[in-house]
Amino acid sequence: MGEQKAYQHKVQYYETDQMGIVHHSNYIRWFEEARTDYMERLGIGYEKMEEKGILSPVLSVTADYLRMVHFGDTVSIECQIREYNGIKLTLVYDVVLDKTGMVHCRGTSKHCFINREGRPLSLKHSAPEFHEMFMKDMQERKKPEEKTKKEDKQKKE
């Protein structure tokens, strides 16, 4: 698994308004593109999930628009797990303008897991291999954060 790479997207003309500024609805699409890419990199692509009869509908999406993105810009969408308990998953997104490295939009999406009949599933029981991949990625991402916090604490002492 290792280091996750951000999903890259070049802004297309059709994604903008008359002023050449990205329409707000496109950020939600970019979140989905980044989420799909992220899941595939983890080894839990939607195709694999659906082959096992697992669906993952969106429960909610939020987006905070911090700065404008324009036609022709390239952005990197960083996606990672904020919360996961086997039944629900919350992902966070940072849309970063490549040429400046600044965050232009931040968002979240919340998901659950259901079977084809619409009944809730626990990945821990119905797809333990997917559950373990999510857990492992969360743990790997926490390690650098914990290391940084520990180093900051040591510097203060």
CA distances from 115 to 54, 57, 121 (A): 5, 11, 7
90 sits in which H/E element = strand 88-97
Distance CA 50, CA 70 (A): 35
CA-wise closest residue to 38 among 98, 110, 96, 93 = 93
Catalytic residue among 17, 37, 94, 152: 17
The C-alpha angle 79, 92, 97, rounded to 5 degrees, equals 60
Question: Mapping DSSP to helix (H, G, I), strand (E, B) and coil, where does residue 107 land?
Answer: strand
Active site residue 94: no
Catalytic center residues:
17
